[in-house]
Chains A and B, each alone.
Chain A
Amino acid sequence: MNNLIEVRNVSKAFGGVVANDDISIDVPEGQITGLIGPNGSGKTTLFNSIVGYHPIDSGSIKFKGKEISKIRVQQIARLGMLRTFQQTRIYANMNCVDNMLISVPHRNAKFFDMFKPYPHELHEQAEHLLEFVGLYEKRKLPSGDLSFGQQKLLEFAMALMNKPEILLLDEPTAGINPTLINGLIDRLKRANTEFGITLFVIEHNMRVIMNMADTIYCLAHGELLASGEPEKIQNDQRVIDAYLGAH
């Protein structure tokens, strides 16, 4: 089994605050990997380091064996690694279909591909994926008019449209109506199995992550606290302490 992402000894500090300290993580291909930890434990910082939002202080980050800790967000995205945002980001003034269409992969885009129209298949694919996340009825509405939960679903659908090899999801269930969460878990799993997309998920909702993930990493105070299968993590005293605030 190959590791898609290999994080080795990554440290990152903001001013005097050490957000990540000597962290090593593997994300194996084809699986769902979870990343948990209390607020402020450095999960999003690690995500941002991986996808190229800011430079890291030391260590190495490899994607499919290629060092990516020096290159920029767009280049990393075009390698096939995509992320969604904690604060959902969509193109608010465009309708849902357009949001989907613009999300097609740009990996092999030639210069003059910019000026091509969208073929019919892409329209169909966009509508199919919107149906997959349950937004088909709303496909022509400006996406800014959708509710927060619907925007999250749209962002997820856009990510699928991009056909990434790996998808980094930052709290996919935050702000989603609890009754919809099961549906979302189901869709995430199907994205993993049917579309073959490796998932790397930050999640606060223990029930969700325990249900989904094959492997879980737990961060606390910027350090890697524990890793392993869900059952192991669930029963790890250090993890429980970290969540309950004991030190």
Chain B
Amino acid sequence: MTAADERAQEVATTAEPTSRRVFTFNDYMMFGAIVIFGIVGPFLFPNYTFQIAVLWLMVLFAQTWDVMGGQMGYNSLGNIFFFGAGMYICTVTQIGLFTDVGNYTSSSDGGSFQFTPDQYYIGVAVGLVFAAIGSSLLAVALGWIVFGLRGPYFAIGTLGIALGAGELVGAWEWVGGGGGIPIPVYPGSGDGKSFFYYTLCFGAAMATFLFLKWLYSTRFGLAINAIRDDEEKAEAMGIHTMRHKTAAWAISAFFLGISGGLFGNMTGFIEPLEVAFPAPTFGLFMVAMALLGGKGTIWGPVVGAILFHIVKEATWTYFLGWQWVALGVIIIVNIVYFQQGIVGWLQEKYPHWFGIEVEARNAGAKRAAE
């Protein structure tokens, strides 16, 4: 590099703010494309509104998992717990605001209680708020139990929480036990319902994205990255690690709680093992999607979730019963052979796309040496 080049670079770098998470032109294009698809998608593919709505929930799942797993290096296998918790909190609120929960859940048809449209919408609104806040509070409480654990113990501990929650809710008759709860019926047409929830799902996913984008640009983003890279060093530097870890989990739980409330209302019937706390399906998907796209990047989880969901929905029925085996194989292949994920791979290959500087001569050689 000549001296003139260096000076030119100097000018270029001092002109822009030093924060590394600037939103580049590429980012705006990508975000714009997603928003446009989100708006026209249900009109282009009206028969798939439900699937596209689930797609946005998947995007939300992968993003919220990545707060902990990718950005902070705490690989949770039990984040699905907050999805289920949000679902139950939302449902119980929707019912409990207007009638007796025990009566409602103990009869198979919801005690033939009819919700008026007003009651329905108020219930959903209040329920979602409670779901978000309640899940966050649960995250804070559980944080006391799991954040003294590192590495595999944390992963197994969180998995245990998710599995245990399903069993406990299954034994809790007040919330319907293993039999589940029928959700209040949407006061309107089927199309109206799918459009209503589509909008909410899309909004939730976008809100999550924008919130996390902002979050990663604050001190918080750097702090959780520091915890990921070397938690002992972060402690030795005096960072409030516990505070950051708890807040990160509470933020994940906040959005997951909303997604749970939405998904429960979309399916119309909830029960603990298959719908609310499905650790082997949704619980694993969120990890797989974030890894597929590239963990620890802002776009990785989004890309991974979209790709995963589309491929899954498109091919699922052709597997003739082997789809779960195929899913497991995909996860293994992803983990073993393609760990950095799509965006991670792009970042290594074309760092300048992401505004990352590398030392061209040494960096490659150093990596090769290691």
Contacts and interface: CB of A to CB of B under 8 A. Distances in A.
Say if the two chains contact directly (CB < 8 Å).
Answer: yes
Interface of A: 51, 72-74, 77-78, 82-83, 85, 89-95, 97-98, 101-103, 105-107, 109, 111, 113-118, 123, 127, 138, 140-142, 145, 158, 162
Size band of the B side of the interface?
A: 35 or more
Interface of B: 13, 17-20, 215, 217-220, 222-223, 225-226, 228-230, 232-241, 243-244, 247, 296, 356-359, 362-363, 366
A92 B229 contact: yes
B358 A162 contact: no
A73 B230 CA distance: 14
A98 B357 contact: no
A98 B20 contact: yes
A218 to B, nearest CB: 26
B241 A116 contact: no
B219 A116 contact: yes
A103 B247 CA distance: 19
A142 B219 contact: no
A114 B228 CA distance: 16
Given A115-B218, A141-B358, A74 B238 contact: yes
Given A90-B230, A117-B219, 16 more contacts: A73-B236, A74-B239, A74-B241, A90-B233, A93-B229, A93-B296, A95-B357, A101-B222, A103-B237, A114-B220, A115-B215, A115-B220, A123-B18, A127-B18, A140-B13, A162-B238
Contacts of A97: 18, 20
Nearest to B370: A144
A204 B236 CA distance: 23
A109 B240 contact: yes
A51 B233 CA distance: 12
Contacts of A94: 222, 225-226, 229
Nearest to B229: A91
List 9 tightest A-B contacts by C-beta distance, closest first. Answer: A77-B238, A91-B229, A89-B233, A140-B357, A78-B238, A102-B222, A106-B238, A73-B235, A114-B220
Contacts of B223: 102, 114
B243 A111 contact: yes
A154 B325 CA distance: 48
Nearest to A164: B238
B238 A105 contact: yes
A35 B152 CA distance: 38
B97 to A, nearest CB: 32
A83 B13 contact: no
